[in-house]
Chains A and B, each alone.
Chain A
Amino acid sequence: MTLINLSGIHSETYRELTDGDLPAAGESVLVPLSQLQDNGAAIFELTSSVGVIVDTETAYSDLEEFVGQVSFVDIRFPVFGDGRGFSLAVRLRKDFGFKGEIRASGHVLPDQALFLLRAGFDSVDAAEERREAFEAALKRFGAFYQTDMIGHGKSVAHLRHSASGNDTTTKEAG
């Protein structure tokens, strides 16, 4: 599997901690949410470079206590049609103002690249043979009918009126 960058933010590989394992000092690690809930304090003491793995069933409220501490969130899609992963990313951006990296892994399709990006994802962990298709899909559309979930990017509705000085997109998306 390979990392495909959607948003241009720096995207790196993390070692996935298996059960009970602890990171080396300063190491970048990836931890399932349940382990963070059990053992978070010890992990954060050793490193500040922690990513959390969540599944699409996760209630976004369970992430609240960690968003200030983790540097990235890996949302695992069991099937590409599981839209809960999209709402989770939106929640992270909108409700918690999360600025770190959000990664989609598991089953996602190249044709979803723009949907992922615009819902707040930065990277995808996918098969190398699909890199080209992902990259092509990212260039597919130049404008959108919705503002995106990261709080920048203007919707067509806003672009239509920004020339006349009536732009309202300066409002922060929070």
Chain B
Amino acid sequence: MYAYDTFDRNIIDARVAEFRDQVERRMKGELTEEEFRPLRLMNGLYLQLHAYMLRVAVPYGTMSSKQMHRLADIATKYDKGYGHFTTRQNIQYNWPKLVETPDILTELAEVEMHAHQTSGNCIRNTTTDQFAGATRDEVEDPRPYAELIRQWSTFHPEFSFLPRKFKIAITGAGQDRAAVKWHDIGLILRKNDAGETGFEVIVGGGMGRTPVIGKTIREFLPEADLLSYLEAILRVYNEQGRRDNKYKARIKILVEALGAEEYARLTEAEWQKIKDQHIDVPAEEVARIKAFFTPPPLPVLSDDVPAVDEFANQNFIFKTWLDNNTNPHKVLGHVNVTISLKPHDGIPGDATDEQMHLVADLAEKYSQSEIRVSHEQNLILPHVAKQDLVEIWKILDANGLGSANVGLLTDMIVCPGMDYCALANARSIPIGQAIADRFDDIRRLQDIGPLKLKISGCINSCGHHHAGHIGILGVDRRGEENYQISLGGSGAEDATKAALLGPGFDEHGIVDAVEKVVAVYLGEREEGEEFLATYRRIGAAPFKEAVYDAD
């Protein structure tokens, strides 16, 4: 894991002092609320429905046990005993007090954490694959590059006042678990024919009210040129992105208006001018950062662990958990364990302080003191020996963290919606809970198989409904909460935009609609065919018929 040196330490300390000063000036009335707003936003502090909300960055979703313990302590001390892990690999606290936030930032800084750029019109926290550096299907660990981007984008003098927020995601694996094509910039690590490392560069993706899948503007960018190339992309956007209408201010609108080819041409022309300036860091710096991410010294073990298989044969739930919640590790005999934060009666993505401490303890004992956050709002123990799985599962299960539903219908992404969010048109959490209630049988879920359901409480799409195999969007229809259903989206390497099926439903009707959609799939699927594949093969018509015509 990356560790701060004195430079990083001084910068983070100065930042906390600056924010403390800004809060004081606000309290004294030297800053108007209008002027304070962007300053607090750049420190992740929002004003929500009931209170302030503080969004803390977990850069590229990686943290240590020590950091997780601290997140738990903050939940105890400054919140109501829980935190909410988000689709951007951050954690949100829903109840901090304005005057206490500088103290929270101080406590975070002590463990090398911060809330820089978790909000506001700047380059946001870069996200990546939750299994980065640990998964078997990887070209290279993307996290050193994410750290490079973190540093370069932190308080960038030119790009801190962009037309809108700006999100970068990066993956090094064949399977895209970071939804890179749904970001303002998506980066995919590739090797060229000569075996050199570089990036496929994708621009102009995004959700919100105009969902767009990003387009490739460069097939292979040498790794040494990453920052100067990003700078070229951003300069073009900063100058030409629309500022008259915030819904049209995203890079996706500019890329659509100019065309991806023209955007590529402008970027390339800009880059030719600046690529030899010292924007890109020295090779020694890349090597220094990479050294923090050298794989942990795991012993090579056998992938066959009879004791685990035996236990699985006796215990269906454990077997299901093993099938769904573990992912093959680079090193034989190991796995990545996903801890589902989607218990049937819980709030997707929420973790209590006790659960956070527990996960931190487990990581210390079984996973090299390392924890990850996924964009699907789960936690991961990335380096677990297979032989420890039974023990780990028993502990998780005893503490309400044993849900075996990873990748299944109830492993939903759900935004905070009307329960917390000032922008919401509808509730999201209760809808997610009602669906989880309806599908509360793990055998049935397992039979249905991989299915991504995603819910947003308004068009801003924090819940990624555009990328859901089943997407649900809450809208306001003449003062009533109404839920629209769309099908066929994907946030993976085969990214697609979900298509609206038809008119929306009330909060009960939407649960029935999901059930009917699933029933059509079960009736139509071919041997071994997953939901998305069936939908792509048979199209929307049979689903539409079942949902709207049948009784």
Question: Which A residues contact B (CB, under 8 angstroms)?
Answer: 59-60, 80-84, 86-88, 90, 94-95, 109, 111-112, 114-119, 133, 136-137, 140-149, 151, 155-161, 164, 166-169, 171, 173-174
Contact = CB atoms under 8 A, between A and B. Distances in A.
Contacts of A167: 282
Contacts of A164: 284
A118 B161 CA distance: 14
Interface of B: 5, 7-8, 10-11, 14-15, 17-18, 21-22, 25, 30, 35, 38-39, 121, 151-163, 235, 238-239, 243, 273-274, 276-279, 281-282, 284-285, 288
Contacts of A157: 151, 281-282, 285
A60 B238 CA distance: 12
B7 A146 contact: no
B51 to A, nearest CB: 24
B226 to A, nearest CB: 12
B212 to A, nearest CB: 22
Contacts of A161: 282, 284-285, 288
B163 A115 contact: no
Given A87-B158, A111-B22, A156-B151, A94 B277 contact: yes
B18 to A, nearest CB: 5
- Interface SS of chain B: helix, strand, loop or mixed? helix
5 cross-chain pairs, A with B, having the tightest CB-CB distances, nearest first? A83-B161, A118-B157, A157-B281, A157-B285, A145-B151
B158 A158 contact: no
A86 B157 CA distance: 8
B387 to A, nearest CB: 41
A140 B18 contact: yes
A143 B7 contact: yes
B157 A148 contact: yes
Contacts of B276: 171, 174
Contacts of A118: 157
B238 A86 contact: yes
Given A94-B274, A142-B10, A143-B7, A86 B282 contact: no
Given A87-B238, A95-B273, A114-B157, A81 B10 contact: no
B121 A81 contact: yes
Nearest to B15: A141
B155 A115 contact: yes
A149 B284 contact: no
Given A160-B5, A160-B285, A83 B18 contact: no
